[in-house]
Structure 1
């Protein structure tokens, strides 16, 4: 990815969402967390959520009057979709979805042979796919699972996403 000073660079913290338009790049760093990017090519508006856990610990019938919390998958996706809808940039027929993260942060040497990834990573990935299906958003690209962390950079004006995967 070329480095230039014409793009506004935003850092997305864990448990947050960000939307932007134009010459903007949103960047985040993932381990077992998940980032989902949504981009409307006609509007050239997009956003990213970075959630930590698939479910809120008090889920199923919880928090009727509590604010949504982007640390959790369903809340993060709801907040991201609502933010894009508010900007007139959410249409499942054209919105492009991409999915990243869910890496195991333990060294492969510390995991017994034949043991799958930790359920946390698997659950985060599974819930992300289910949420995208719920919103009728096909996954255009993904880089999930495995070992190590990923740096994700989402360029809003083009919809391109760059990944730097650092395996353990």
Structure 2
């Protein structure tokens, strides 16, 4: 996660990377850049709270081996729980889905699978999807304004798409290595 003040927007911008999420009611922007990855934005209009995640692969409800938010199943649970912890009512949540572009040179159709996961998950959880901009062959940069729930989308030019493609390929390679972050050590008193 990267935080900076954007003088053009006159707001703080929280930029998410793959495997991250953020929830807020502050007058800021939550932003991310997407290629084949997907970002889901959730919003509670009564509490004026919004959150965004950014995941790389769908994951599986049956697979307990990997709990990383780089996987959609975990990213969605973390986002919903984060929204409720911030005071949102789960029954009022509305969603917008972005990304899932066909930007990687692979046969696996990662982007399509990511979008399918998000839409299926949201339907199963009975969270209405109010908007989406998904698939295609473009990279996107999105900005979410939590108090309003508005999302601003910018399609990125080919040279930026090439950078996104390179970065996502690198992230996918690291995920396949499985020991990306290593283990945890418990420190007691």
TM-score (norm 2): 0.73
Runs of 4+ displaced beyond 3 Å: none
Question: Which residue does the alignment assign to 1:87?
Answer: 86
- CA distance, structure 1, for counterparts of residue 100 and residue 145 of structure 2: 21
Taking the TM superposition and a 5 Å limit, the aligned residue runs for 1:55-134 are 55=59, 60-63=62-65, 68-92=67-91, 94-105=92-103, 118-134=108-124
TM-score by length of 1: 0.82
Relative distance call for 1:157 and 1:119 in structure 2 (3 A) is: same
Alpha-carbon spacing, 1:157–1:102, altered in 2? closer, same or farther (3 Å): same
Alignment coverage as a number of residue pairs: 152
Higher helix share: 2
Of structures 1 and 2, the one with the larger relative CO (CA 8 A, separation 6+) is: 1
* Structure 2 residues not aligned, in runs of 5+: 1-7, 159-189
Listed as ranges, the gaps of 5+ residues in structure 1 are 112-116
1:38 and 1:139 map into 2 onto residues whose CA distance is 9
Tell me the alpha carbon deviations over residues 20-40 of structure 1, each in whole angstroms, 9 at most, x when there is no partner: 112011000000000000011
Root mean square deviation of aligned Cα: 2.2
Aligned residue for 2:114, secondary structure, equals helix
Contact 2:23/2:86, CA 8 A, preserved across alignment: no
